[in-house]
Amino acid sequence: MAVERTLAILKPDCVRKELIGDVLRRIQDAGFTILGLRMTRLSKREAEGFYAVHKGKAFFDELTTFMSSGPCVPVALEKENAIADFRALIGATNPKEAAEGTIRSDFAGSIGENIVHGSDSVANGQVEINYFFDQATLVANEPVG
Ligand code: ATP
Ligand code: MG
């Protein structure tokens, strides 16, 4: 299997519920390497840019209002098979449908406020990581030893 990168975002509900540590613990326990980590408050416009693929959908305004409602924590991650493995770790978009033991099943309140984002392809992961991190930072953060 190939080593891949994915972008996680611990969403504003994760920060408000004081679950940053719990979610990062699960991510690290699952074998992901953290290459970048920040805390930032997205403007509505930045949230609209990040989720541009969903423009025109019924939930777009709700989604981008929520994503700009408070600070979030983007995390650049690396692992073999990272895209699929991370989506398995977080579970289905709707927490009611998410498998038992997944992050969304255990922590999320609703489909709109579902704790964490995960990239859906290697190509989108690259674009999404670039949205928050510059390449030099990721290289500098590569683990040593
Ligand atoms: P994400 O991209 O955040 O990792 P996802 O890939 O599981 O989530 P998408 O279909 O990409 O799901 O939708 C992006 C986000 O939009 C979801 O995480 C959710 O917060 C929100 N969303 C999706 N569908 C709905 C809906 N029907 N009602 C409200 N919010 C929704
Ligand atoms: Mg998605």
Q: Rounded to the nearest 5 degrees, what angle is found at the Cα of 49, between the Cα atoms of 83 and 71?
A: 80
* pLDDT tens-digit profile, the chain (145 residues): 899 999 999 999 999 999 999 999 999 999 999 999 999 999 999 999 999 999 999 999 999 999 999 999 999 999 999 999 999 999 999 999 999 999 999 999 999 999 999 999 999 999 999 999 999 999 999 998 7
The ranges assigned to domains in the chain are 3-137
Q: Which atom of ligand 1 is nearest to the CA of 118?
A: 4
Three-state SS at 114: coil
Q: Is the CB of 125 under 6 A from ligand 1?
A: no
* Span from the CA of 84 to the centroid of ligand 2 (angstroms): 12
Q: Is the CB of 102 under 6 A from ligand 1?
A: no
- How far, in Å, CA of 57 to CA of 53, rounded? 9
Q: Is 117 annotated as catalytic?
A: yes
**CA-wise closest residue to 39 among 66, 12, 72:** 72
pLDDT score of 145: 76
Q: Which of 117, 125, 129, 132 is catalytic?
A: 117
Given the DSSP bridges, would you call strands 116-118 and 33-37 parallel, antiparallel or unpaired?
Answer: unpaired
Structural fold of domain 3-137:
Alpha-Beta Plaits (3.30.70)
